[in-house]
Structures are given as structure tokens and as C-alpha cells.
A and B are shown apart, each in its own frame.
Chain A
Amino acid sequence: MGLSLVAATAIVGIAVLVSIELIVGTTIPTLTDFHDSYDDMKDRSIEKVQTDITITNVAWSDPNMVITVNNTGTETINTSYCNILFDGSSKTFTCSVFNIYPEKTALFNVQERANPGDIIKIITPNGVSDYYTV
């Protein structure tokens, strides 16, 4: 009886250890990944709050419409992933700089003339935008 109890306890004990290993082995990586994603989301939210741009001027300089954009936030803006809309339609553009650092200005060139009254919208990579009526 004593030996039976010892054997059964040993088997159940091993099963408990294996189960703990299974739980720990899957839970810890899941929690780590979740934590990383949560951190990324938090960083994106903070960046969005700290991002701001102002279109200070729009002028025609043949053959480009030159849009002057000032980074009025505290985040650096990658101009490659900005978007420009002329009266709602997306336009391709070139920019004078790759990054707009805080308090710095960049010139966006669009090879299309906007008409008086047209609304220009510039969107930063994280979705923050500014409007300008020509």
C-alpha cells in the first residue's frame, strides 16, 4: 500500500511538473509579446499626441506647387510616409528633406497647380494632419 501510494504520488507529481512547464513555457512568451505590443501601442499614442504640423505657405513656383510645412510638434517626421491631398485627391510629391525635425521647416513640391479655393491636406505618417486653403 505504501509503495503504491509513493508510485502514484510520483506519477502525479511528474504530471504536475510537466503541466507547470507547459503553462510557463507558453504563458511567459505570450506575456512578453503582449507587453512588447502594448509598449509599441503606447509609444504610437504618445508620438501621435506629440506630433503636430502647420502648413505655413503654399505658392506656385513653376513647375511645382511648393508647400511649406513647419513641424510644430516635438516628434521628428519622416517625409517619405507623408501624404498630400489636393481637394481630396492624393498627389505624389518630392520633399526637400528626409526628416522634418521639431521646429524645422520643409518644402513639399507637387507637380500640379492648385486652384484658388482648393483645400490642401497634409497627413503625417501617424495620421496627424493640417489643412490649408489656397
Chain B
Amino acid sequence: MGFSLTGTQVIFFVASVIIASAVSGVFIVVINDVSNSLSERGERVQDQLDYEFAIINDPNNIPSEGSNYLFYLKNIGGKKISTTNSTFTIFIDGELVAVANYNFSDNSINPDEVTTMYIVTSEIDAGDSTLRVVGPRDIDDEFTFTI
């Protein structure tokens, strides 16, 4: 009887340790995932605050070169911006411009620097148009101009 009581206590002890360890393990893993996600979310928000750019063209004089219109994109934020077709999306009057129809003179621009954005002339009709440039982390700038 005495032995079985001790055995029962040992079984209870081991079981409680196993259950507590399992619960603790799951708890730590979940908390770790949550804190990692929070950290990543924080970085994205931080990027949104750091990224800022502006199209600095004269709206009444859009220069052209060959079969492209030239738009000047200036980094007025606090972080280097990658300027590629995959990081930027362009809309003219709400219509998405095909990736093949625009490109940049530089792969990236540091704060205060300017890059030239080439957009194929066939994408833009004569008259007033609105260019919307969407960059990394959904930061965007709109520019209304006349051709």
C-alpha cells in the first residue's frame, strides 16, 4: 500500500512535469512567433516612415528622349530606395503600365538623389494625365502633368 502510494505520487509528479513542460514549450514557441511577427511588422512600419519620394518634373514640360518620356524621381526620405521594375508600380490615369514599358536609370537612389524614370510614350496620351508611382512598402506619389 505504502509502495503503491509512493508509486502513484511519482507517476503524478512525472505526469505533471511532462504536462507543464509541454504547455510551457507551446507557450514559448507561440510567444516567440508573435514577437518575431511584431518585430517584422515594426520593420515594415519603420520602412513606411523612412521611404519618401517625389516626382519633381515641371508639369507643363515633360521631356522626352527617343520613344520615352522622362520623369525625375527624387528620394526625399531617409532611406535608400531600390528603383527597379519589381519595386515600383506605375499607373497612368489609373491604368497599370506594363512592366516592360518603364525603367529607371539607376538601380537605387540614396536620400536626396534623383533617378530618371523612362516611360514609353505610347502609354501616355496627349493632354492632361495623372501619373501615380507606387514604390516599396506602398509609398506613393501622384503627379498631374500635361503633354
Contacts and interface: CB of A to CB of B under 8 A. Distances in A.
Nearest to B8: A1
Interface residues of B, number: 46
Contacts, number: 129
Interface in A1-33: 1, 3-5, 7-9, 11-12, 14-16, 18-19, 22-23, 25-27, 29-31, 33
Interface string A97-131: 00000000000000000000001010101110101
Contacts of A34: 42, 45-46, 49
A127 B112 CA distance: 9
A85 interface: yes
Interface residues of A, number: 46
A38 interface: yes
A7 B20 contact: yes
Nearest to A121: B58
Contacts of A129: 56
Contact of A127 (B16, B60, B76): B76
A63 interface: no
Interface string A57-90: 0000000000000000000001001010101111
Contacts of B23: 12, 15
Nearest to A32: B42
A37 interface: yes
B74 A123 contact: yes
A121 to B, nearest CB: 5
Contacts of A40: 49-50, 78
B49 A38 contact: yes
B28 to A, nearest CB: 6
A14 B23 CA distance: 12
Interface in B66-93: 70, 72, 74, 76-78
Question: Which 4 pairs show the lowest CB-CB distances between chains A and B?
Answer: A88-B61, A15-B24, A30-B42, A81-B112
